Chains A and B, each alone.
Chain A
Amino acid sequence: MSDDKPFIHPYIPNSVPEVKERMLREIGVGSIDELYADIPERLRFRGRMDLPEPLTSEAALKRHVEGLLRRNRASSEVLSFLGGGCWPHYVPAVCDEINRRSEFLTAYAGEPYEDHGRFQALFEYESLMAELLDMDVVNVPTFDWCQAASTSVRMAGRITKRDEVLYADTIGPDRLQVMRNYCRGVMKLVPVRHDPATGLVDLADLAARITGRTAAVYFENPSYLGFLETEGRRIADLAHARGALCVVGVDPISLGVIAPPGHYGADIVCGDIQPLGVHMNYGGGQAGFISTRDEEKYVMEYPSRLFGIARTAVEGEWGFGDVAYDRTSFGVREKGKEFVGTAAALWGITAGVYLALMGPQGMAEVGQHILQKSQYAMNKLGALPRVRAPRFRAAHFKEFVVDYGGTGKTVAAVNEALLARGIFGGHDLGRDFPGLAGCALYCFTEVHSKDDIDALAAALGEVLR
């Protein structure tokens, strides 16, 4: 394409030369370049950006990108048993219908008048999550569980005016890395050991490490490794006895059947809503929630937007708006609570749709289904010779650790052989948990059929023979 012909692209209406001329005349300049007069020549980039020739036709663009995407194998094209912070669950068609609506997809930060629906949908998301969690306050979503956990412990630090966090050493590795960076220089993170047999928090180790500097004790339930922490109440009591808060990360899809953390003493609850109606998106479907009781000392420490309900000038009309906006960094910059901005609102709206569709019955059914499927898988995989599944002697939800140690095979070798059979095997835990070398994290949900699990067990039987 030569540079002297006008470049008229479907995305840029005012490229039409006559329009440009009219606008330049109106401004009173002879060329667009004059408008850049404030950029000194020494800062002007006069080279060419080395970019591919544009695919201005939509058909060509589609062909090109689809060509690249064809080199992927979607987990829906194979049997995938990967979880570990991003999980395969059924996404109701209505969830996609709503989050693909132009109105929601392309809205941003309008006022609670012309964007009334955005405010209401997110207020409803907060409210639906609050029922699931049995708590009174939920934020407009943050980036993901990692960020939610990081902010939760920083909130605990501000509330208690302390600077140490004890965390169960079985928490998700991404969570730990994000928390470490987020707290670096401000709060100290101290691991608490787990019982090697059950995975549960070692209460003696916790009691030994908790001090007057401890702001929060953080654990996850179900844990990253899939087992359920049964001693939540005792952990919370230990924390509270020393003036610390109990912070719990939770998989919300478990809460139709599993008690929400507030029932065993959690003060701040966090987690990820990707399981609630959002596709995995190669990790792009994550969105974090934070939840607390409705007490001023908690509410005022949220960095996030909190949408509240209100009256309007017209009787019988609902209005919505920002609660306690002045705590945010928008208004008071570094004096605000951490920072706020674009995060993952669209997934919040989607999770609201999901919970509205599922209702209490749906959440109970999906929770029960996942329990049954994962227990069935435990039976099948646990029956394989020299395989320990689950590795931890505990109740589990959705995921569990499979230990190939006795077979002499590495996880990488097993997964390679499974891949050749069209199966994505469990995630290799060796890099993040040195004590779990030779172990893989397997995930089973309502999307897996009995036949899928039988096929996995049969394939593993061959591979490990």
Chain B
Amino acid sequence: MKLRQFHQAKWDEEVIFELGTKGERGIVVPPVEKAVADEIGDGISAVPEQLRRRTPPALPEISQMRVLKHYLRLSQHTLGADLNVDIGQGTCTVKYNPKINDALAASPKAAELHPLQDESTVQGALEIVHRTDLFLREISGLDRFSFQPASGSAAILAMASIIQAWHESRGEGKSRDEIITTIFSHPSDAAAAAVKGYKVVTIHQTEDGLPDMAALRRAVSERTAGLLITNPEDTGIYNPRIDEITRIVREAGGLCGYDQANANGILGVTRARDAGFDMCFFNLHKTFGTPHGCGGPGCGALGVVEKLADFLPVPLVDFDGRKYVLRHDLKNSIGKVRSFTGVFPVILKAYAWIMSLGERGLREVANVAVLNNNYILSQVRKIRGAGAPFAPGRHRIEQVRYSWETLAKETGVTSEDVTLRMADFGFHLWSSHHPFIVPEPFTIEPTESYSKDEIDEYLAALKRISDEAYEDPAKVKGAPYRSVVHRIDHAWFDDPAKWAITWRAYLKKHGSAKP
């Protein structure tokens, strides 16, 4: 397999404050009509003296083409999924985001809608939301979806809020003060529960990589409010006892929330309801093909069983048999977790994605994602220094958390070193593998979007770097060579006297000299 002679663009681009000259303009604001100015005057005189801005903001002054060029150069310094074989940001489900869906969302009929328009003027938008709700009911087996949470973490917060409101409605709000999660569930499953004031009980895994059932049985009590759990967890191992886990929590009086941020390997294969969950959510920006946008906007579509439907955030979109309406009158609603009804363009793109694939296509997505993943597993095992902890001999679902432990022991080359060297081949191998239980971790999640040839190319880069580590470890440790920048000095990031979160802070702390 040929490895490409990649080199990322390197413009040596300035920070934007170093560009432009006083007096340059990037865009001109329409002048107010003369008749308005004649009648009103300058407008500013009506503002009380103490509220007027005295010194203009020290924004740069740059002509339009230079602003454009600056940001285009920064875009070339960014490795979007459209440009690489983006399987190294495991857990993130970085897949193809169809261009047609972006084009549809850019239509003024979507982009220029105001969220408070009369319902009669947004029947198309509401129908899209409602139909997406119906689709997700089919996929999850649950009864009702809200699209208000703008991310997976926000959906977790909403689930914890529903757990809280449910127990409050039954007079047990104070006494049930614990939420159970597992160490391989997403950090937000613990963190968002804590935001709601819950004590978080974390179940660790046993040698097989799955949560310790005895520890779970010990953990449940009359203080248990609920469970927030991922399955498969970040190891990619499907937990066959998931229904036993939900039963144990349910019998203790808790509600069960399923973190399905990433459901890419199990669409149409197994459903939240069948595993005993009361709630689940899907990240539309993962499984359902909407772009990640450098980290949002996204949507954590939140589904619940019937008994929790009137706890959902408002408004919900309903069909009354004749027209689509926004419902605000939910008796036990937790209120809101975001403004308005949610991130509409993301819902629209997910709707179009599902419409393009249908039931057979969704199954095919899952099947091929799992096929690709297990193919990679079979190949990574052959790479010297790499391993796949837990569940020996078993298949995985959509991703695997691998380890460079052997490589690190034998060559001194760490997971971070490999990550930086991968950049030289035009690939991501990201570094976020929390919790760091697997030593020298790396996580690969191929999704359904990449061809076998592309996957082989990615694997060839891993193999090459392993070879380099054994032959010339210093080479790997000096990477990246063909990326935009070289090894970053972390000394400023954790020192309050030196960190600079803005350009003005940089100037104050480090003067105006170049680094």
A107 touches B79 (CB 8 A): yes
A-B pairs with lowest CB-CB distance, top 8: A54-B358, A117-B77, A283-B340, A283-B115, A357-B26, A371-B43, A346-B293, A329-B191
Partner of B294, one of A53, A311, A345: A345
B430 touches A419 (CB 8 A): no
For A, the interface residue count at a CB cutoff of 8 angstroms equals: 218
Assembled-state Cα–Cα distance A40/B238 (Å): 10
Q: Looking at the complex, which of A141-149, A204-212, A238-246 is the stretch in contact with chain B?
A: A141-149
Residues in A neighbouring B196, C-beta threshold 8 A: 184-186
Residues in A neighbouring B296, C-beta threshold 8 A: 141, 143, 287, 342-347
Partner of A341, one of B153, B428, B430: B153
Partner of B356, one of A48, A61, A319: A61
A54 touches B360 (CB 8 A): yes
Among B140-194, those with CB < 8 Å from A are 141, 150-154, 156-157, 161, 164, 173, 187-188, 190-194
Residues in A neighbouring B154, C-beta threshold 8 A: 143, 147
Assembled-state Cα–Cα distance A103/B46 (Å): 45
Assembled-state Cα–Cα distance A134/B53 (Å): 11
Residues in A neighbouring B141, C-beta threshold 8 A: 45
Assembled-state Cα–Cα distance A61/B361 (Å): 14
Q: B493 on the interface (CB 8 Å rule)?
A: yes
Partner of A36, one of B71, B81, B328, B370: B370
B358 touches A366 (CB 8 A): no
B29 touches A12 (CB 8 A): no
Chain B nearest CB, measured from A433 CB (Å) = 14
Chain B nearest CB, measured from A383 CB (Å) = 12
Residues in A neighbouring B328, C-beta threshold 8 A: 431
A118 touches B164 (CB 8 A): no
Q: A461 on the interface (CB 8 Å rule)?
A: no
Among B251-302, those with CB < 8 Å from A are 266, 268-271, 274-275, 283, 285, 289, 291-298
Residues in A neighbouring B505, C-beta threshold 8 A: 130, 136-137, 294
A43 touches B452 (CB 8 A): no
B109 touches A283 (CB 8 A): no
Among A71-121, those with CB < 8 Å from B are 71-77, 80, 82, 84-86, 88, 90, 92, 94, 96-118, 120-121
Assembled-state Cα–Cα distance A346/B290 (Å): 13
B187 touches A336 (CB 8 A): yes
Residues in B neighbouring A9, C-beta threshold 8 A: 356-357, 361, 364
Known: A74-B113, A111-B419, A342-B295. A86 touches B190 (CB 8 A): no
For B, the interface residue count at a CB cutoff of 8 angstroms equals: 224
Known: A23-B372, A27-B378, A146-B338. A282 touches B118 (CB 8 A): no
A342 touches B152 (CB 8 A): yes
Known: A72-B124, A356-B59. A122 touches B194 (CB 8 A): no
Q: B499 on the interface (CB 8 Å rule)?
A: yes
B197 touches A333 (CB 8 A): no
Q: A362 on the interface (CB 8 Å rule)?
A: yes
Assembled-state Cα–Cα distance A347/B296 (Å): 8
Residues in B neighbouring A141, C-beta threshold 8 A: 296
Q: B511 on the interface (CB 8 Å rule)?
A: no
Known: A104-B293, A282-B125, A369-B29. A40 touches B112 (CB 8 A): no
Residues in A neighbouring B484, C-beta threshold 8 A: 113-114, 116-117
B375 touches A26 (CB 8 A): yes
B355 touches A61 (CB 8 A): yes
B59 touches A363 (CB 8 A): yes
Assembled-state Cα–Cα distance A36/B367 (Å): 9
Q: Find the A residue at minimum CB distance from B328.
A: A431
Among A131-180, those with CB < 8 Å from B are 131-132, 134, 136-138, 140-141, 143-147, 154, 172, 174-175, 177-178, 180
A283 touches B335 (CB 8 A): no
Contact with A along B465-492 (1 / 0, CB 8 A): 0000000000000001001111111111
Residues in B neighbouring A334, C-beta threshold 8 A: 190-191, 193-194, 200
